[in-house]
Structure 1
Amino acid sequence: MPEPEAPSAALTLDSLAERALALVPAGGGRAVLGIAGSPGAGKSTLAAALARHVNDLQGAAAFAAPLPMDGYHLAESTLRGLGRLDRKGAIDTFDGWGFVSLLSRLREETGHTVYAPSFDRRVEEPIAGEHAVEPETRLVIVEGNYLLADVEPWSRVKGLLDEAWFCETPVSERERRLVARHELGGRSHEAAVDWAHNVDGRNALLIEATAARADLVISGQLPALS
């Protein structure tokens, strides 16, 4: 396996958009780009900014669409029954098979709208069918923690992507963002720090080890992407 391209200060939103657009089949069809990274790395921000920029360049509102993996969180009632609620966000607290199925549909079903779930942080639950990928969407930018994990069913994801990028951000910055996110979700400062360090941090150990499987590593600190 070739080494991923290292983070570069030369990367800009323009250069990333150019690279993403090169993945789109010239004769029609749809490309699926994946952006992986640890919690708080900036994946959602990058995916949304990249989709907007591509749409601006193409002069089309739905040419590109960001799509988070977070909608495949298992419901809290399910996690409670499985005894996994206290480590929500771990790899086995997602419906991995459902996410793999979505990626297959995005590649094969281009003649009609494909609906996908979102995740509402206000209630900490997935919301069915909130994301709509329209037939005219030629580039889907999926983002999530475990896109490059090498265990079933996640090991099937990379083969369903045209390219996979990894968003890399220093631990201190990721933890700062996560603490703020958890506080907004209703946790006390102490509980937010504990979750960011002991739950998100434990998951990050697995996720960071998958960066070597990426085609490109992007610094989440790049000014052009903030």
Structure 2
Amino acid sequence: MEPALLNDLAARARGLVTDERRALLGITGAPGAGKTTLAVALVQRLRADGVAVAHVPMDGFHLADAALVERGILDRKGAIETFDVHGYLALLRRLRTELDHDVLAPDFERTLEQPIAGAISVRPQDRLVVTEGNYLLDERDAWPEVRAALDETWFVEVPDDVRVERLVRRHVEFGKPDPEARAWVAHVDEPNARRIVARRSAADLVVDGALI
């Protein structure tokens, strides 16, 4: 990542931190934009600067495959309806208010392609939580309440051709043959991307993902 960009983003994130409350920062963008890469780099930089910070991806609230099969939507895994928005919102509210004990959060295991309960610990001393996911700015269901629970939401964007190739490589890395990966990107990831990009203007900050 460009050092100057990381410096600027880390300074902005530190500005959210106060002694009185735990701050919540959201990072969003279309699939393959670089949300996780940015979140990880930002958390590492903040920790190096002495900030007590936790990273809690939204992906831990993927519905498990069994639940997707039950609902008949396994072939749309990653679409907005395949996440537990109410569970995610409840966690964000707990992170804001429960400061006297560890709060456990789920993570997502990409090799298994399944959520893992209780995999992340947010400690009482953590004054900032960085969360990232696709739909943080969406207008449907409880997603506006998710946005309201966050102090700021940043939108990461990259050119579509770069983003699509990143997605194809990711799907291939985790087991899909190249033609299947490209078909999944075209028929599942890209409709999701259009929905996400339509909410870009609602972000507090737009980050150039080409610099990540």
For normalisation by structure 2, the TM-score amounts to 0.96
Secondary structure at 1:221's aligned position in 2? helix
CA deviation digits over 1:130-174, x for unaligned, max 9? 111111111100000000001111111111111110011111111
**Offset at residue 11 of structure 1 (A):** 5.9
Structure 2 match to 1:156: 145
The one-letter code sitting in structure 2 at the alignment partner of 1:23 is: L
Secondary structure at 1:128's aligned position in 2? strand
Match of 1:14 among 4, 7, 16: 7
Structure 1: distance between partners of 2:57 and 2:196: 16
**Runs of 4 or more consecutive aligned structure 1 residues displaced over 3 Å after TM superposition:** none
The one-letter code sitting in structure 2 at the alignment partner of 1:16 is: L
Kindly indicate whether residue 106 of structure 2 is the aligned counterpart of residue 132 of structure 1: no
For normalisation by structure 1, the TM-score amounts to 0.90
**Offset at residue 110 of structure 1 (A):** 1.2
The one-letter code sitting in structure 2 at the alignment partner of 1:141 is: V
Unaligned runs of 5+ in 1: 1-8
Structure 1: distance between partners of 2:70 and 2:148: 32
Mapping for residues 23-38 of structure 1, pairs under 5 Å: 23-25=16-18, 27-38=19-30
Tell me how many residue pairs correspond in the alignment: 211
Match of 2:31 among 29, 33, 39: 39
Secondary structure at 1:146's aligned position in 2? coil
Secondary structure at 1:17's aligned position in 2? helix
Mapping for residues 190-205 of structure 1, pairs under 5 Å: 190-205=179-194
CA deviation digits over 1:176-215, x for unaligned, max 9? 1111111111111000011112100010010001111100
Mapping for residues 173-212 of structure 1, pairs under 5 Å: 173-212=162-201
The one-letter code sitting in structure 2 at the alignment partner of 1:69 is: M
Secondary structure at 1:157's aligned position in 2? helix
Structure 2: distance between partners of 1:56 and 1:11: 16
Secondary structure at 2:192's aligned position in 1? helix
Unaligned runs of 5+ in 2: none
Structure 2: distance between partners of 1:86 and 1:11: 41
Mapping for residues 12-161 of structure 1, pairs under 5 Å: 12-25=5-18, 27-58=19-50, 63-161=52-150
Identity %: 48
